[in-house]
Copies of this chain bind each other. A is one copy, B any other.
């Protein structure tokens, strides 16, 4: 069985275009992951069983994306002591404010680390997972420093390109 550091789960295959961004980010850093579709509401036992198995399988972090009454991250968090990161999907009539509140407003005792709604949230979930893993992985820490520097260089390059002065 292959090593999996990060588990990426989502409630529906319609979340794939967004949640795949989390996988792509992990790939760039060479961190292992798996992508699973598990529904808090339609496959609750599978989800609970999966959540409970994670720790034993050596998984370190879970990223869970869901929309509407987004319970997936909360359900996983209630079945593991691994850190769970929640990504609210934009997929509802309310543009994701329902998913954001359903994910972030967890009661005392069972935290879900919530990211921004949609694509930025999915990418940041991966980065946050990497930041956690880097706590005991100096190589990864170095890569993250490099990434942070690249972010800086990107802004600087765009700044030079867009620079306008009028006087």
Q: Which residues of A contact B (CB under 8 A)?
A: 2-5, 11-13, 16, 23, 26-27, 32-46, 48, 60-61, 67-71, 74-75, 77-79, 81-83, 85, 90, 92-98, 100-120, 123-125, 127-128, 131-136, 141, 144-145, 148, 151-152, 154-156, 158-159, 161-167
Contact = CB atoms under 8 A, between A and B. Distances in A.
9 contacts: A12-B107, A35-B163, A35-B165, A40-B71, A42-B154, A69-B105, A83-B132, A114-B115, A132-B132
Number of copies: 8
A44 to B, nearest CB: 4
B81 A109 contact: no
B144 A81 contact: yes
Given A106-B120, A119-B108, A159 B95 contact: no
B94 A109 contact: no
A111 B115 contact: yes
A154 B11 CA distance: 12
